Structure 1
């Protein structure tokens, strides 16, 4: 058995504050602990798209400025629908709700286009 000291290489986080430019549409960074620079994202206000008070989608403008792939500003859209079995009347109502939701998504898309035009991306 050797009496020489053993060594190991261990990966560690090196943490220090990072000052970054923030677009005017970003609502801030409530969690100050981004594990890696690529995890940093700018997020606008969350919009709950809820025809008749029934949440269907959540959406917000987002950008990951240090991402390793796509750094473009985009609209993050998350479905918030519960699976359900529908009657014919339910299907008609769902179709109407989807039309209303589409109008709201288009409005957010127009806001996104304005931001992209303004920021020259």
Structure 2
């Protein structure tokens, strides 16, 4: 017997400050929907514990001669308030950094500039997460 949820698309219904979602373990649930959440329209029905609110993705990368465009950073506000083992009381910064290439000096400088941009973007999103954690409105 499989514990995997069915591969059924979510049909969220948005109301002022809330969203109604289908779950495999709690049926239909109404949960607070933060204003910064990008929505749940492209998600599949799953367990309540897997429900995560995600904000807009902030990215940074470099246009290199040898490798074309390389993405370095993907960051966004994330909040999983119903996690089974570790429910998150407050939003977090979901941060993904990735770069693995052999670069010419010119491309290395482009990557270094992209890392400076990525650093500024991380700081901005971290500031917003801190604001939310310190009493800023979640919804």
Q: What range is the shorter-chain TM-score in?
A: 0.7 to 0.9
Structure 2 stretches of 5 or more lacking a match? 4-23, 64-68
Instruction: Please identify which structure carries the higher strand content.
Output: 2
Match of 1:63 among 73, 79, 87: 79
Partner of 1:76: 94
Q: Which of these two proteins has the greater Rg computed from alpha carbons? A: 1
The answer to whether the 8 A contact 1:43-1:61 is kept is yes
Of 51-60 and 70-79, the range deviating more from structure 2 = 51-60
Q: CA RMSD in A?
A: 2.6
The count of corresponding residues between Structure 1 and Structure 2 is 110
Match of 2:129 among 106, 112, 121: 112
Cα offsets for 1:20-67 (capped at 9, x unmatched): 111221121124534211100011111222355652211110010101
CA distance in 2, matches of 1:11, 1:49: 39
Mark the CA change 1:29 to 1:63 in structure 2 (over 3 Å): closer, same or farther.
same
The answer to whether the 8 A contact 1:34-1:40 is kept is no
Instruction: Please identify which structure carries the higher helix content.
Output: 1
* 3-state SS of paired residue (2:31): coil
Structure 1 stretches of 5 or more lacking a match? 1-9
CA distance in 1, matches of 2:70, 2:102: 16
